[in-house]
Structure 1
């Protein structure tokens, strides 16, 4: 059909290039791109969570909070 004009090989090579780029992106692209990286919990956030769960009392919370803020 278009073998002698060169159109066939040109379009054929373009499609191979598109497939190679797509497969390369799938297999070698960033693996954790849509997911944000986990951040380390701040000590004060952990302290607030423990207080909210009832693991520590209000007095222990205030003492720990003032102790942590004085160290900074």
Structure 2
């Protein structure tokens, strides 16, 4: 019965081997990408909408003043320091 007529030649074995390697490479790559996509908890924030900007130091200081944590003198003193001005007027160098 056709024992030797239907066997693949050397190129047949080569193409089957390369095809099997490519097949498993695609399966493993898909698995790794799926795992990486599902294990990122930080991306859920961006999926829900834009992340609000962080408040500035002046805004935080104003909130503390509004809550009554600091008095008016301390608020103005700290605001002056934040803006980079000394009490006598000239601006401090920022390095």
TM-score by length of 1: 0.50
What's 1:44 paired with? 58
Unaligned stretches of 5+ residues in structure 1: 1-26
Q: 1:19-72 CA distances to partner (integer Å, 9 max, x unpaired)?
A: xxxxxxxx89x7424411132220000000000000000000000001110166
Larger radius of gyration: 2
Unaligned stretches of 5+ residues in structure 2: 1-36, 85-91
Q: RMSD of the alignment, in Å?
A: 2.4
Query: Could you say which structure has the higher helix fraction?
Result: 1
Instruction: Work out which of the residue numbers 47, 50, 65 in structure 1 matches 2:79.
Output: 65
Aligned residues: 45
Structure ranking higher on relative contact order (CA contacts 8 Å, 6+ apart):
1
| Structure 1 outlier segments of 4+, above 2 Å | 30-34
Measured in 1, the distance between the counterparts of 2:51 and 2:72 equals 33
TM-score by length of 2: 0.39
